[in-house]
Amino acid sequence: MRGQRSLLLGPARLCLRLLLLLGYRRRCPPLLRGLVQRWRYGRVCLRSLLYNSFGGSDTAVDAAFEPVYWLVDNVIRWFGVVFVVLVIVLTGSIVAIAYLCVLPLILRTYSVPRLCWHFFYSHWNLILIVFHYYQAITTPPGYPPQGRNDIATVSICKKCIYPKPARTHHCSICNRCVLKMDHHCQLLQPSQTSHHSLPLFLSSVALALGALTTWHAVLISRGETSIERHINKKERHRLQAKGRVFRNPYNYGCLDNWKVFLGVDTGRHWLTRVLLPSSHLPHGNGMSWESPPWVTAHSASVMAV
């Protein structure tokens, strides 16, 4: 392919050189001399227009990504405002549901020590989440000074053409350099990413979610749902007053309860249904709840209540 290209371009280059040589001779026709001069002048003008001492592959990539930069500057930056509103609305909804629905049930069923513990822990965690999120969205991440200063810098930002201290990076959404930039988190608009408040906020959320996950793990181990937990507790106290023992008909033991929950029928299902993505259906049809044939503790069929 390269040989064919050279064969085609060789005669063309030879003809062009002959024309250029003829252009310098006096016996060359004036029309041909004028064409050669215009060709040389046009080539010089074209090179001068396209000349750029800062040009290179980076400049070409930046030019190619200009539409993406425009989209980020004019559209994506508004996503942060939407996300902040959603976080506030969702957090407020969870708090309202807790006070209106969960709190009356807790006041009727929990003992005083347990009630005090839940009251202290839930409100302490709520205060941490609200406080750290407020700090995260209102605390500026920090920007390098733009005037003359004695701070040691490591490079010059190609976007804002200002000295960059160590661990400073340019944020394309904020359109300025940020000190110790981690990433631009849309949940913290318009503050950008505060490397101090963000981990504290995430830790508070993880603490709440960790407690919720632990609570549901306990319910799964007992073969109960959140509603059944309160129903079984009342039924246990009622039968205990009569000298009888309450037994949950859906509790097959801790390990078998987890097998029912995860849909593990055989040993290979730990791989195909737990460790790998699986679309298998849960056990039962939702109407009758017969114990699986592979559990060690069997119970009679009970209709769903």
Residue pLDDT, tens place only, 211-263: 778 888 888 888 888 778 878 888 888 998 988 888 888 888 888 888 888 88
| SS3 state at 193 | coil
Q: How confident is the model at residue 166 (pLDDT cuts 50, 70, 90)?
A: confident
Around Cβ 168, how many Cβ atoms within 10 Å?
20
Q: What is the pLDDT of residues 23-52, one digit of tens each?
A: 555 555 677 777 878 888 887 777 776 666
Tokens of 184: 């631009």
Q: Which two tokens stand for residue 106?
A: 């807790």
Considering only CA atoms, which of 101, 118, 110 is closest in space to residue 233? 110
Residue 85 has pLDDT above 50, yes or no: yes
Query: Which region, left, alpha or beta, applies to residue 171 given φ > 0 means left and ψ of -120 to 50 means alpha?
Result: beta
The mean-pLDDT minimum among 140-144, 203-207, 271-275, 294-298 falls in 294-298
- Confidence class of residue 14 from pLDDT cuts 50, 70 and 90? low
pLDDT at 72 over 70: no
Catalytic positions are 185
Q: Which amino acid, 108?
A: R
- For 3, the token pair is 């040989």
Mean pLDDT value across residues 74-93: 80
Burial of 291: CB neighbours in 10 Å, binned 0-12, 13-18, 19+: buried
